[in-house]
Amino acid sequence: MYPIVRKRVLNETVTLMEISAPLVARKAKPGQFIIFRIDEEGERVPLTIAGYDREKGTVTIIFQKVGYTTEKLDTLEEGDSLLDFVGPLGEPSNTEGIRRAAVIGGGLGVAIAYPQAKALHDAGAEVDLIVGFRNEHLIILEDELRDACTNLIIMTDDGSNGHKGFVTQALQERLEKQRDYDTVIAIGPLPMMKAVSEMTRPLKIKTIVSMNPIMIDGTGMCGGCRLTVGGETKFACVDGPDFDGHLVDFDEAMARGRMFRPEEAKAREKHACRLTGEAR
Question: What is the structure's pLDDT at 68?
Answer: 86
Question: What is the structure's pLDDT at 225?
Answer: 86
d(CA 80, CA 2): 8
| DSSP state for residue 136 in the 8-state scheme | G
Question: What is the structure's pLDDT at 108?
Answer: 81
d(CA 4, CA 280): 23
pLDDT per residue as tens, the chain (280 positions): 999 999 999 988 899 999 999 999 999 998 899 999 999 988 889 998 989 999 999 999 999 888 888 999 999 999 999 999 998 999 998 888 899 999 999 888 888 899 899 999 999 999 999 999 999 888 888 999 999 999 999 999 888 988 899 999 999 999 988 778 999 999 999 999 999 999 999 999 999 999 987 777 788 888 888 999 999 999 998 998 999 999 999 999 998 877 766 666 666 565 555 566 665 5
d(CA 49, CA 57): 13
Question: What is the structure's pLDDT at 228?
Answer: 94
SS3 at position 49: strand
Cβ-contact 102, 137 below 8 angstroms: no
Query: How would you classify the pairing of strands 58-64 and 45-53?
Result: antiparallel
Run of H or E residues at 23: helix 22-27
Length of the chain: 280
Least Cα distance to 35 among 55, 56, 71, 63 occurs for 63
d(CA 141, CA 173): 24
Question: What is the structure's pLDDT at 55?
Answer: 95
Question: What is the structure's pLDDT at 179?
Answer: 74
User: Which domains are delineated in the chain?
Assistant: 2-89 (2.40.30.10), 93-210 (3.40.50.80)
Least Cα distance to 243 among 256, 260, 229 occurs for 229
d(CA 263, CA 163): 37
Concatenated DSSP letters of 115-137: HHHHHHHHTT-EEEEEEEESSGG
d(CA 244, CA 98): 15
